[in-house]
Amino acid sequence: MALPRTDADRIAAYDAKVVPTTVGLKIAARLAGMKSDYAVFANDFVAMQLLVRTELGTDATIFPITYGMYYAYASQLWKLKITTTQPAVDAVAQILKDHWGLRGAQLLMLVQIAVNVFTITVI
């Protein structure tokens, strides 16, 4: 297929791709797979957050208003765990722990989340 040569050709090619019926058919063809993929993601992610919440509940010195930073840390570890292999996981996890420690999170809780929820060793 030849590339469009004029602006009018480019606009026509773009318009042909984004016609609502064409887009609707493309999405309809993938919708079942998209839903099942999201269900798997959501179940794993919620289970991880519940484990993090359990860890946070064990320390009375961590106030609920700061839970967000621990959930963000856990989300980064979760993504790291599913996209990276050892030994990079441990090295990057250490960097993430240091990063969130500098932002004011308690280092002991960061270590507990890494070890108890993700079985990642950080110092």
Domain ranges within the chain, ordered by starting residue = 7-118
| pLDDT at residue 2 greater than cutoff 70 | no
What is d(CA 65, CA 52) in angstroms, rounded to the nearest whole number?
Answer: 15
Among residues of the chain, what percentage have pLDDT more than 90? 69
pLDDT of residue 86: 86
7-118: CATH number: 1.20.58
Encode 16-46: b = buried (16+ Cβ within 10 Å), e = exposed: eeeeeeeeeeeeeeeeeeeeeeeeeeeeeee
Instruction: Place 26 in a pLDDT band, splitting at 50, 70 and 90.
Output: confident
Specify the pTM. 0.77
pLDDT digits (tens, 9 = 90+) for 79-89: 999 999 888 99
